[in-house]
Every structure is written in C-alpha cells, then in structure tokens.
Amino acid sequence: MLRDWPGRTLDHGSMPVSLHLAQQPDADELLGRSPLAALVGMLLDQQVPMEWAFTGPLTIAQRLGTDDLDARRIAGYDPDAFAALLSEKPAVHRYPGSMAKRIQQLCQYLVEHYDGAAAAVWQDAADGMDLLARLKALPGFGAQKSQIFLALLGKQFGVRPPGWREAAGPYGEDGSHRSVADITGPESLGQVRAYKQQAKQEAKAKKTK
C-alpha cells in the first residue's frame, strides 16, 4: 500500500504530523498532512520570511478552491492563470511570477517521474545519499535546500533511511538549530533565527577583511 508520512496511508486518514513552520495552525496542518504542500513550502522558502513561505501552500490551495494541493492539477494549470493566482494580494511570494513557474515545474516533474505522488520521492529511497540525490533532482532544489528538506524529513516526519543524518550534512546534526528542520515551536524558531543572523554577520565580516 502506498504510504506518505510514517503511520499514514493515502486511502485512509490518521493523525498527521504536527508542525510549526508557518506559525499558523491551518497552514501548518496542511504541511503536516500533505507531502506536496511540504515540498512547495520548502521551494518557496527563499528571499522571504520562513512563515510567509510555508503559509504559501495553504494560500494556493484556498485560491484553487480546495483543501489540498494536487500535482497533476497544478502541472496542467494555465501558466498565466497560475501566476496571476499567486500574484493576488497578499502575494504568495515576493516574486510570485517566477515562483509560480517553479512550482509548476516541480509538479510536472512529480507527474512525470513519480505519477504525481510527492511522497514517492522519499518512499523507497535506499539510503540517505539516494534520498539526497532524488531531492536534488527536483526543479528548484539545490544542494542546500535538499539537505535541509532531508533533515526536515528525518527530524520531524520520521523518514530515516540509513545514513540520513550524514547525507543531510550539518542540518542533520542532532540538537542543532540551523534551519527549518529544527523548528518545533517559538523557542526553537528564535534559536534558528539567532543562528542565521550570526552566520550572516560572520560572512559579512569575512568579506570586509
């Protein structure tokens, strides 16, 4: 039977994963039960605040008039209409047009390679490096984004093929507060933000030397 998150199957419901990435109950609920929503949220997580990015999947679903995201529907959506949907105020992203294109490319890839099932990306991964390679092959997922999402899968969704921490690099370290993979509530959110701010300051200091 096809499975998505651990302990849940696609043909009947069960308890979803509890997340705190969007810091908005309805948006986090969707991320916790929809693999595609989680992927789209991760895709949107660049050049905007994390909460804005991870609220995006819910906003898209609501504007499509549904309570979930469907890869086939998004993949086949008229590109101009989809860009307009993301551009409605409040916009889904700072760059809604380019992100609309990236989301459609992601969904088209999922349809072509995984029959539209986002969870199939990690479902049968042989090990951490195999899973990392699958994530890096997704449109819009570079090395860093792929490692962060891999860490999120392992730390919060229980998707833990052999060697997943090693494949996730520093983001897979136990007890770290480097990325969205480590955010489980307001306190950890503050710790991750503090880490990122420190990293930015250190990078800026290196440039000025």
Is 78 contained in some domain? yes
Tens place of pLDDT per residue across the chain (209 aa):
334 444 333 332 345 788 999 999 999 999 999 999 999 999 999 999 899 999 999 999 999 999 999 999 999 999 999 999 999 999 999 999 999 999 999 999 999 999 999 999 999 999 999 999 999 999 999 999 999 999 999 999 999 999 999 999 999 999 888 899 999 887 888 788 887 788 777 777 777 76
Is 162 contained in some domain? yes
User: What are the tokens at 206?
Assistant: 């290196």
Buried b (16+ CB within 10 A) or exposed e, 91-107: bbbebbbebbbbbbebb
Is 129 contained in some domain? yes
Label residue 65 exposed, middle or buried (CB < 10 Å: 0-12, 13-18, 19+): exposed
Is 13 contained in some domain? no
Is 203 contained in some domain? no
Judged by phi (left if over 0) then psi (alpha if -120 to 50, else beta), residue 115 lies in: left
Total structural domains within the chain: 1
Which range marks the domain in which residue 116 is found?
A: 25-173
CATH number for the domain that contains residue 134: 1.10.340.30
Is 202 contained in some domain? no
> What's the CA gap between 171 and 145, in Å, rounded?
10
Please report which helix (H) or strand (E) contains residue 74, including its range: helix 71-75
Is 15 contained in some domain? no
**What angle do the packed helices 35-44 and 50-63 form, to 10 degrees?**
130
> What's the CA gap between 96 and 90, in Å, rounded?
10
